[in-house]
Chains A and B, each alone.
Chain A
Amino acid sequence: MSALVQPAVLRLREQIQRLEGVPLRARTVLPFGVEAIDSRLPGGGLALGALHEVAGGGNAAINGAAAALFAARIAARTKGKILWCITRQDLFAPALAQVGLHADRVIYVDACDEKTVLACFEEGVRHGGLGAVVAEVARLSMTSSRRLSLAAEASGSIAIAVRRWRRQTEAADFGQPTASATRWRVSTLPSSPLPVPGVGRARWLLELIRCRAGESADFVMDACDVQGRLALPADVADRSATTQHGRRSA
């Protein structure tokens, strides 16, 4: 896809970046290692030093289980400690270890309310010594998301907001604009079929709802395994992204 980008477009992008006031250093990215996704993201991966949002779809908007695993999987591929800000203590550490995020790396902050979560989130992002900072928040206003993404730009850490609401009706809040670089929705799909009775490997519908300087897309993926690898399901062939770049990642 990058070969298709015209030099004029590249110049325009540079100009926009200058206008946005982002320091003009080479933006590094964190690739997913799955060609189908990476090719859709500008720069070939999730931008480091930026705010990303992840939410669960359907009922998962309340429990956010898949969204948390997806965030953990992104965090696991960074270097250094991870700060995880929560208000509800129901995260099960062995599950995070099963997507490749070792318990020694994660420091939890159990903040009493949303306001404190955001304050701790920003503090962690601003510090810059952490690999990734994850926070489970319900409301994320334009102002606070702008603050967070500015802090992330200055420090270079990746900030992931796992949007998690108390009630299904509040999930409409996800439609409100924020300053995040990408916005994802992770919903569970029926697991991959097995030749014997039983539950197969979990399967996710990853929707890239919003992507700055990129287009939205959706992917059906086999969920993270023990090494934290996402993979294209073997039996999905009817999607354009798959037919173009269909290659099972290692």
Chain B
Amino acid sequence: MSRVVSLYLPTWPTDRLRRNMGAAAPDPAMPLVLVGQAGRRREVVAANAVAIRIGLRVGMPATKAQALVKELVIHHADPAADGEALERLAVWALRYSPVVAIDGPDGLVIDATGASHLHGGEDAILADMISRLEGVGITARAAMADTRGAAHALARFAAQSSLVIPECESAERIKPLPIAALRLTADIVDDLGRLGFERVSDLLATPRAPLTLRFGPELGRRMDQATGRTGDPIEPVRPPDIIETQQLFAEPIGAPETIARYVAKLTIKLCQEMELRGLGARRLDLLFGLVDNRVQAIRIGTAQPVRDAKRLTRLLCDKIEKVDPGFGIEIMRLAATAADPFNTKQTISSLVDEPEADISGLIDILSNRVGETRLYRFEPVASDVPERSFRRVAAAAPASKEGWPAHWPRPARLLAPPELIETVALLPDHPPVNFTWRGSRRRVRKADGPERVFGEWWKRDTELIAVRDYFQVEDDAGERFWIFRAGDGEDAATGSHKWFLHGIFG
């Protein structure tokens, strides 16, 4: 099942204008419209959110808009520049998936099949897109569905700004949407409205033949595309001046061994090309053009620039099983979509000790399998609060050489979040006599503590006087736990005085 993301930018022309003007941009709280020439009259072609809220519409005469709103800011529309900027945005969106295309004047469509887990899941990929765009002042809405048509419709007509439709539910979810969601021309939508069709479900319940007779094949095609009955190929954008090699096949190929053989050939050619330019690949996209016009893609990334054909082939061949060749592959295109200068280094040959083995190859293989964020090391952070005393860094990051203070025992397993336990304990600074955790009651035989940890007032106001008292306790069987009491045992302002189990010692 393919997964398609549709990204809808409702106020793209005005957002782009504001971004271009920089400091000279008009106040975002002011109504802003862009005016273009339509025949002999000047009319509004784009409006920002404020202008739409106060009643201005796309398509109304510019003079009328001026008459309605006193302090209206008017600029000239530049659809050509908008289109170019959208193309650049599509190249940016290649970071999410190798198959990205421009969808109309105000959106992108991204084939995210098999790419979501690299960004932390389907919800996370949409949230990341929207927040990144919002960060640069572009309003965006996104939806993920099984088909391009459904994603397009839901991005524009669903109530949420970010919506993930579970697999196989897309056809059901587009039924209540208005007919305009189906990417039909304005005439057809008007005519259908006149005939009493309002929702997509009305259309789907009507016999197809009379509709086709009246409106032509377009209507049926769009309905089938939305429900996934016919294909809807996405022709991906290619970033300018990338290093690319391609292989055309006179007879379509499909067997994994054949694909692997040609991957090896393409990689060798690509590496020669990169050598001429002194580059090494950081990201490779391999696109398969299928006989039925569909595009399938696999992508690999590397931690450091790589120009070793064998290693790149290995990384690509790991993913071949994810490609569904369908009726056959007609063209294979391999491109280095991200490349960095590749400097050969002389290795230091030392007589004293052996150099540490190079494991960047293994890091690449594993991060392409599980996702870059799931491969990490821990680095100490100067904080007494246990859950804040470490942070994740990339596996290939330089070593920090620092460590944690070793004079306090720390548990091998840390529960996140700490689990509430029921205790019998004397206040203010005695360890509990017994406690109940996950339904079993344990008697405390030995205990050490308290180790007082103060809240970090520079992080949050509520932590100004917060305190935790940690105890190491041992039960009858010799199992040892790390428990703490929220609060100092005397002042209720320092914590709730509830007890929590935070870790298990080995």
Verify A129–B358 contact, CB threshold 8 A: yes
Give me the 5 closest cross-chain CB pairs, A-B, nearest first. Answer: A129-B357, A66-B506, A69-B506, A65-B506, A93-B378
What is the 8 Å Cβ interface bit string for chain B, positions 385-416, against chain A (1 contact, 0 not)? 01001100001000111011010011111111
Complex Cα spacing A59 to B411, Å: 16
Complex Cα spacing A89 to B399, Å: 21
A199 in complex: contacting residue of B357, B411, B448, B477, CB < 8 Å: B448
B390 in complex: contacting residue of A93, A110, A189, CB < 8 Å: A93
Q: Smallest Cβ distance from A55 to chain B, in angstroms?
A: 13
User: B residues within 8 Å of A by Cβ?
Assistant: 117, 356-359, 361-363, 365-366, 369-370, 374-380, 386, 389-390, 395, 399-401, 403-404, 406, 409-416, 445-448, 472-474, 476-480, 503-506
B445 in complex: contacting residue of A83, A124, A190, CB < 8 Å: A190
User: A residues within 8 Å of B by Cβ?
Assistant: 58-60, 63-70, 79-81, 83, 89-98, 102-104, 106-112, 116, 119-120, 123-124, 127-130, 186, 188-191, 197-200, 202-203, 223, 226
Verify A103–B380 contact, CB threshold 8 A: yes
Cβ-closest chain A residue relative to B370? A111
Residues of B contacting A80 in the complex (Cβ-Cβ under 8 angstroms): 356-357
Complex Cα spacing A65 to B386, Å: 17
Verify B370–A116 contact, CB threshold 8 A: yes
* A199 and B399 contact, Cβ closer than 8 Å, known pairs A90-B413, A98-B406, A104-B377: no
Verify A109–B389 contact, CB threshold 8 A: no
Cβ-closest chain B residue relative to A111? B370
Q: Smallest Cβ distance from A5 to chain B, in angstroms?
A: 33
Verify A188–B506 contact, CB threshold 8 A: yes
Verify B506–A94 contact, CB threshold 8 A: no
Cβ-closest chain A residue relative to B447? A199
Q: Tell me how many residue pairs across A and B have CB atoms closer than 8 Å.
A: 165
Residues of A contacting B374 in the complex (Cβ-Cβ under 8 angstroms): 109-112
Complex Cα spacing A127 to B311, Å: 13
Verify A127–B478 contact, CB threshold 8 A: no
Contact sample, A vs B, 12 pairs, CB 8 Å cutoff? A60-B479, A80-B357, A95-B410, A95-B505, A97-B404, A103-B378, A104-B401, A109-B370, A110-B376, A127-B362, A188-B505, A190-B474
* A107 and B404 contact, Cβ closer than 8 Å, known pairs A119-B369, A188-B477, A191-B480: no
Complex Cα spacing A128 to B160, Å: 50
Residues of B contacting A109 in the complex (Cβ-Cβ under 8 angstroms): 366, 370, 374-375
Verify B412–A68 contact, CB threshold 8 A: yes
A106 in complex: contacting residue of B117, B377, B401, B479, CB < 8 Å: B377
* A199 and B480 contact, Cβ closer than 8 Å, known pairs A97-B406, A130-B357: yes
Complex Cα spacing A12 to B477, Å: 44
Complex Cα spacing A106 to B414, Å: 17
Complex Cα spacing A190 to B480, Å: 9
Complex Cα spacing A19 to B362, Å: 32
B413 in complex: contacting residue of A92, A112, A128, A202, CB < 8 Å: A92
B447 in complex: contacting residue of A89, A95, A198, CB < 8 Å: A198
Verify A123–B365 contact, CB threshold 8 A: yes
Complex Cα spacing A58 to B446, Å: 20
A202 in complex: contacting residue of B357, B366, B506, CB < 8 Å: B506
Residues of B contacting A200 in the complex (Cβ-Cβ under 8 angstroms): 446
Verify B357–A128 contact, CB threshold 8 A: yes
* A96 and B412 contact, Cβ closer than 8 Å, known pairs A69-B506, A81-B356, A129-B357: yes
* A112 and B362 contact, Cβ closer than 8 Å, known pairs A65-B505, A80-B356, A91-B412: no
B416 in complex: contacting residue of A69, A90, A93, CB < 8 Å: A90
* A108 and B378 contact, Cβ closer than 8 Å, known pairs A124-B362, A188-B479, A199-B474: yes
* A120 and B406 contact, Cβ closer than 8 Å, known pairs A67-B506, A81-B359: no
Cβ-closest chain A residue relative to B415? A90
Verify A69–B412 contact, CB threshold 8 A: yes
* A129 and B359 contact, Cβ closer than 8 Å, known pairs A65-B506, A92-B386, A108-B376: yes
Verify B366–A123 contact, CB threshold 8 A: yes
* A94 and B478 contact, Cβ closer than 8 Å, known pairs A120-B370, A127-B359: no
Complex Cα spacing A178 to B386, Å: 38
Residues of B contacting A81 in the complex (Cβ-Cβ under 8 angstroms): 356-357, 359
Complex Cα spacing A188 to B448, Å: 17
Cβ-closest chain A residue relative to B394? A107
Q: Smallest Cβ distance from B141 to chain A, in angstroms?
A: 29
* A66 and B375 contact, Cβ closer than 8 Å, known pairs A92-B503, A188-B479: no
* A104 and B399 contact, Cβ closer than 8 Å, known pairs A111-B370, A129-B362: yes
Complex Cα spacing A109 to B409, Å: 25
Complex Cα spacing A81 to B359, Å: 9
Q: Smallest Cβ distance from A246 to chain B, in angstroms?
A: 22
Cβ-closest chain B residue relative to A191? B474
Complex Cα spacing A98 to B379, Å: 14
Residues of A contacting B389 in the complex (Cβ-Cβ under 8 angstroms): 94
Q: Smallest Cβ distance from B397 to chain A, in angstroms?
A: 9
Cβ-closest chain A residue relative to B502? A92
Which of B363, B369, B374 is the most central at the interface, judged by chain A CB atoms within 10 Å of its CB? B374
Verify B446–A65 contact, CB threshold 8 A: no
Residues of B contacting A127 in the complex (Cβ-Cβ under 8 angstroms): 359, 361-362
Verify A59–B447 contact, CB threshold 8 A: no
Q: Smallest Cβ distance from A64 to chain B, in angstroms?
A: 8
Residues of A contacting B363 in the complex (Cβ-Cβ under 8 angstroms): 107
* A65 and B411 contact, Cβ closer than 8 Å, known pairs A97-B404, A198-B448: yes
Residues of A contacting B366 in the complex (Cβ-Cβ under 8 angstroms): 109, 120, 123-124
Verify B506–A91 contact, CB threshold 8 A: no
Cβ-closest chain A residue relative to B399? A104
Residues of A contacting B365 in the complex (Cβ-Cβ under 8 angstroms): 123
* A102 and B414 contact, Cβ closer than 8 Å, known pairs A129-B362, A198-B448: no
Complex Cα spacing A112 to B472, Å: 32
Verify B369–A116 contact, CB threshold 8 A: yes
Q: Smallest Cβ distance from B402 to chain A, in angstroms?
A: 8
* A191 and B478 contact, Cβ closer than 8 Å, known pairs A67-B506, A102-B403, A198-B448: yes
Verify A103–B403 contact, CB threshold 8 A: yes
Which of A58, A80, A107, A111 is the most central at the interface, judged by chain B CB atoms within 10 Å of its CB? A107
* A59 and B412 contact, Cβ closer than 8 Å, known pairs A104-B401, A120-B369: no
B446 in complex: contacting residue of A92, A98, A191, CB < 8 Å: A191
Q: Smallest Cβ distance from B463 to chain A, in angstroms?
A: 21
Cβ-closest chain B residue relative to A58? B477
Residues of A contacting B410 in the complex (Cβ-Cβ under 8 angstroms): 92, 94-95, 98
Q: Smallest Cβ distance from A111 to chain B, in angstroms?
A: 5
